[in-house]
């Protein structure tokens, strides 16, 4: 009798994860965006959430939890119940850069998360104040070498992708660049417009309006290939720095231990939204490229960037504020 009861109990317990996965979602889903409102991640997250909730049948609530390079919001998801109702819109910033900046990071980027799927690739542009007498990367490097200490660049913060983009330019170009971090890229623009900081690395999405207004002169994109919205703008590699490539990617993660069926459902819905023509067009207009794929693809991207970004952070001796 006892054995029969035990076997029956074990059999019942074994069905619980499957039942939970089958019923998912049974309440609103919380999408944690570990950066402030109005930025690239926030815009992409809200685009994704507004369309995923239609097919999931439950609201998706975007929760902006910025701070510490995205690690505060990421940690919230790492410690959430792994039932799929709390997920993260992370990036290579939260999963491949921040781990090298904080010795006591409260989460492990590989062990504490379930990869769900890549969402978008967002190019970064290097632009300068139009008064700076350079019109190409080669001219910029020559100017910097002729006037040591004259070039500084603004970014969205220490350890951000835009920061690492500048460090890579300095290393490959053999030129000294001074990094000027801001709390956000938007906070840097007044100084760039005024010429106090002559250069800035920022996303196409955030920079487009300023480029159209003629307030900035773009020199190159940091991606391996040209950007559709700026087809005449060369890549860094084309502009004279072979091997230069750094890209901001944005992706969805859940806590470690999520039921495979829930992961599959979320991945399927993410990819479905990314294939919608209006979403693809909207992302393209913002300078981003949708990047649907499998959880395994995202895991591979995290592992690759953990190595690449780590090398840049260590070489530049980047330390958090």
* Lowest-pLDDT range of 52-61, 188-197, 258-267, 310-319: 310-319
* Domain range 124-221, its CATH number among 2.30.31.70, 3.30.43.10, 2.60.40.3950, 3.40.190.10: 3.40.190.10
The average pLDDT across 226-241 equals 93
The phi-psi region of residue 23 (left if phi > 0; otherwise alpha if psi is between -120 and 50; otherwise beta) is alpha
pLDDT for the residue numbered 283: 86
pLDDT of residue 301: 95
Residue 40 has pLDDT above 90, yes or no: no
Cα first-last separation, the chain: 64
Report, as an integer, the average pLDDT of 279-304.
Answer: 92
CB distance 266 to 87 below 8 Å: yes
- Convert the chain into a string of H (helix), E (strand) and C (coil): CHHHHHHHHHHHHHHHHHHHHHHCCCCCEEEEECCCCCCHHHHHHHHHHHHHHHHHCCCEEEEECCCHHHHHHHHHHHCCCCCCCEEEEEEHHHHHHHHHHCCCCCCCCCCCEEEEEEEEEECEEEEECCCCCCCCHHHHHHHHHHCCCCCEEEECCCCCHHHHHHHHHHHHHCCCCEEEECCCHHHHHHHHHCCCCCEEEEEHHHHHHHHHCCCCEEEEECCCCCCCCCCCCCECCCCCCCCCCCCEEEEEEEECCCCHHHHHHHHHHHHHHHCCHHHHHHHHHCCCEECCCCHHHHHHHHHHHHHHHHHHHHHHCCCCC
The more confidently predicted of residues 283 and 177 is 177
What is the pLDDT at residue 160? 87
Ramachandran angles phi, psi of 283, nearest 5°:
-65, -45
Query: Which top CATH class is 28-120+248-316?
Result: alpha beta
Measured N-to-C along each axis, helices 204-212 and 40-56 cross at an angle, to the nearest 10 degrees, of 120
Q: Structure tokens of 55?
A: 């097919």
* Of residues 292, 302, 291, 296, the one with CA closest to residue 260: 296
28-120+248-316 and 124-221 share one fold: yes
Give, in degrees to the nearest 5, the angle at Cα 126 between 96 and 203.
55
Backbone angles phi, psi at 4, to 5 degrees: -60, -40
- pLDDT of 12 over the 60 cut: no
* Residue 11 pLDDT: 43
Query: 198 with 114: CB under 8 angstroms?
Result: no
Enumerate residues 6+ apart whose C-beta is below 8 A from 219. 126, 127, 128, 134, 135, 136, 137, 140, 233, 239
Q: Any idea where the domains of the chain sit in the sequence?
A: 28-120+248-316, 124-221
Query: Does 4 have pLDDT greater than 80?
Result: no
pLDDT bracket for residue 21 (50, 70, 90): low
């Amino acid at each position: 009798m006892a054995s029969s009861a035990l076997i029956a109990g074990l059999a019942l317990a074994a069905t619980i994860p499957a039942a939970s996965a089958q019923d998912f979602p049974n309440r609103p889903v919380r999408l944690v965006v570990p950066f402030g409102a109005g930025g690239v991640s926030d815009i992409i997250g809200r685009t994704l959430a507004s369309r995923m909730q239609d097919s999931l049948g439950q609201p998706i609530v975007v929760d902006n939890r910025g701070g510490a390079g995205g690690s505060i919001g990421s940690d919230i998801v790492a410690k959430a119940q792994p039932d799929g109702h709390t997920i993260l819109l992370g990036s290579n910033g939260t999963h491949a850069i921040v781990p090298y900046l904080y010795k006591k990071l409260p989460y492990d980027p590989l062990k504490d998360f379930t990869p769900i799927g890549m969402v978008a690739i967002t190019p970064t542009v290097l632009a300068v104040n139009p008064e700076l007498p350079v019109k190409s990367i080669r001219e910029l490097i020559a100017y910097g070498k002729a006037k040591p200490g004259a070039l500084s660049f603004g970014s969205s913060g220490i350890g951000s992708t835009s920061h690492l983009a500048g460090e890579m330019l300095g290393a490959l170009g053999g030129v000294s660049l001074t990094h000027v971090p801001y709390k956000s890229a938007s906070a840097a623009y007044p100084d760039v417009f005024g010429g106090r900081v002559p250069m800035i690395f920022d996303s196409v999405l955030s920079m487009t309006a300023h480029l159209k207004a003629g307030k900035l002169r773009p020199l190159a994109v940091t991606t391996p290939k040209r950007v559709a919205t700026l087809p005449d703008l060369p890549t860094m590699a084309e502009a004279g720095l072979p091997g230069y490539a750094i890209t901001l990617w944005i992706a969805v993660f859940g806590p470690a231990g999520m039921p495979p069926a829930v992961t599959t459902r979320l991945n399927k819905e993410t990819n479905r939204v990314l294939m919608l023509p209006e979403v693809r067009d909207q992302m393209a207009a913002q300078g981003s490229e949708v990047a649907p794929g499998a959880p395994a693809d995202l895991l591979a991207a995290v592992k690759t960037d953990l190595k690449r970004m780590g090398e840049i952070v260590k070489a530049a001796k980047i330390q958090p504020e």
